[in-house]
Amino acid sequence: MATRRGFLTGLLAASVAPQASWADVGYPDFVTAGLEPNGQYILAGMTAAGGVLFRHPLPGRGHAASAHPHRPEVIAFARRPGRFADVLDCRTGAQIIRLTPPQGHHFYGHGCFSPDGQQLFTTENDYENARGVIGVWDSQTYRRIGSFSSGGIGPHDILRHPDGYLVVANGGVETHPDSGRAKLNLPTMEPRLTYLSFNGDVLEQMVLSRDQHLNSIRHLSLAPDGTVGFAMQWQGDLGELAPIVGLHRHGAVPVLLADGDPRLRNLNGYGGSIAFAPDGLTVAVSSPRGGRVQIMETKTGDMVREYAIADVCGLSTTPKGWVATTGKGRVLSLTLEHKRQSASDATAWDNHLIPVG
C-alpha cells in the first residue's frame, strides 16, 4: 500500500523531473504530410535543408499539422472530410492518442495551440447544420472540453495571433460528406476572415466585397508586424482574373495583391500555401494546380517574382527566404534572386509545411 510520504516523494520527483522538449528530437524546422512509394501516408519532421528527422505512419491522407509549442508532440490532421487527428510523440514514434470530432462533424485539416500550450483549437464542419465550429481540447489529456462557432461556413486554416486572439479562415463553401467534395452554396457563399477570442467571442469579421464572394479564404500566414496574409481559391470561372493573395490588419480594410496582373492566371485560381519573408516586405503563394510560386511586395502589392515549379504546394519561411516542397519529392530554397534544390526524396510531399516553434 502506498504511504502518504511515498506519495509526496513521488509527487515532488515528478515536479522537478525534466520535461521532454523539442531538443529530444533534434529540432525539426517543419512538419509535413506525405505519401511514401509503398502507399503509406506519413507525417515527417524536416529540416530547412530538406533532411527528414522522423517519419510517422498515418491512417489516411494528412493535410496540415500543429506542433505543440513546448513538448515534442505534433497533431497530424486528416484531409477534409477526414475524422482523425493523431497526436504523435516525436521522440518515440508512438501515437499518444487519436482525436475524433463529435458525430456529425469532420476536421478541416488545421489546428493551433493556445499561447501556453494548454489548449488545442481545431477547425471543424458541423455538416448537418451547415456551420463552422472550433473544437477546444485540453492538451494535457486531449479530452474535448468545448466548442464554439467559427463565425462562418467552412473554417479551414486557423492561427494564433501574438496579440492574443485567434484568426480563422472561413472559406464560405458549404460541403457535406454525402456529397463528396461538391460545393453546395456557391451562389450565396460569403468568405470571412474572423477574429475570435480564445473563448469564442467574435472580435471582428472581415468580409470580402460582393464581387469577390467566390474567392474562398483558405490559408493564413502572419507577418512580423502582425499583418495577416490570406491565400484564396477562386470558385468562379477560371478565365476571370481573380486575386489570390490578400492582407489584413485588425480593424482595417483588406488589400488584395497583384490585382489585375495577368500572371495571376498562372495560379489557376488556386492558392495552396502562403508565407511571408522574414522581414515581412514580401509574401509568397504557391499553387500546385498552376505549378507556380509567386512573390509579391506587401507595400505596393506588385508581383516581383514568379517561379515555375511542378506540383509545388508546401511553403514556409526560413531566415533567408522560403522553403518549398512538391508532390514530386523536391525541397527547394527560394529567394527573390534564385531557386535552388536542397533535397529530393521518394516521398510525395503534401500541401503544407508547418513551422515548429
* DSSP 8-state assignment for residue 178: G
Q: Compute the C-alpha angle 73/220/110, nearest 5°.
A: 40
Give the range of the structural domain holding residue 247, as residue numbers without chain letter: 20-271
Give a yes or no: residue 300 inside a domain. Answer: no
What does the block give as the cell for 319? Answer: 531566415
Compute the half-sphere exposure of residue 323: CA atoms within 13 Å on the CB side of its CA.
24
**pLDDT tens per residue, range 294-345:** 999 999 999 999 999 999 999 999 999 999 999 999 999 999 999 999 999 9
| pLDDT computed for residue 22 by the predictor | 53
| pLDDT computed for residue 93 by the predictor | 74
Residue-level pLDDT, tens digit, the chain, 357 residues:
333 333 233 333 333 334 555 556 567 899 999 999 999 999 999 999 999 988 999 999 999 999 999 898 999 999 988 899 999 988 777 889 999 999 999 999 999 999 999 999 999 999 999 999 999 999 999 999 999 999 999 999 999 999 999 999 999 998 888 887 788 888 899 999 999 999 999 999 999 999 999 999 999 999 999 999 999 999 999 888 999 999 999 889 999 999 999 999 999 999 999 999 999 999 999 999 999 999 999 999 999 999 999 999 999 999 999 999 999 999 999 999 999 999 999 999 999 999 986
Give a yes or no: residue 152 inside a domain. Answer: yes
| pLDDT computed for residue 239 by the predictor | 84
**pLDDT tens per residue, range 85-112:** 999 988 777 889 999 999 999 999 999 9
Residue (of 210, 263, 265, 215) closest to 239 by Cα position:
265
Give a yes or no: residue 175 inside a domain. Answer: yes
Query: Contact at 8 Å (CB) between 285 and 243?
Result: no
Give a yes or no: residue 245 inside a domain. Answer: yes
| pLDDT computed for residue 3 by the predictor | 35
CATH, residue 222: 2.130.10.10
Q: Based on the structure, what is the number of domains in the chain? A: 1
Give a yes or no: residue 196 inside a domain. Answer: yes
Exposed / middle / buried, residue 33 (Cβ in 10 Å: 0-12, 13-18, 19+)? buried
Give a yes or no: residue 309 inside a domain. Answer: no
Report the relative pairing of strands 354-355 and 30-35 from DSSP bridges: antiparallel
Measured CA to CA, the distance from residue 75 to residue 352 in angstroms comes to 13
Measured CA to CA, the distance from residue 87 to residue 119 in angstroms comes to 13
Measured CA to CA, the distance from residue 266 to residue 217 in angstroms comes to 19
| pLDDT computed for residue 91 by the predictor | 77
| pLDDT computed for residue 180 by the predictor | 78
Residues with Cβ within 8 Å of 108's Cβ and at least 6 positions away in sequence, in order, are 77, 80, 122, 123, 124, 125, 154, 155, 156
Give a yes or no: residue 139 inside a domain. Answer: yes
DSSP 289-329: TTTEEEEEETTT--EEEEEE-TTEEEEEEETTEEEEEETTS
Give a yes or no: residue 14 inside a domain. Answer: no
What does the block give as the cell for 187? Answer: 451562389
Residue (of 355, 352, 278) closest to 315 by Cα position:
352
Measured CA to CA, the distance from residue 122 to residue 269 in angstroms comes to 26
| pLDDT computed for residue 13 by the predictor | 36
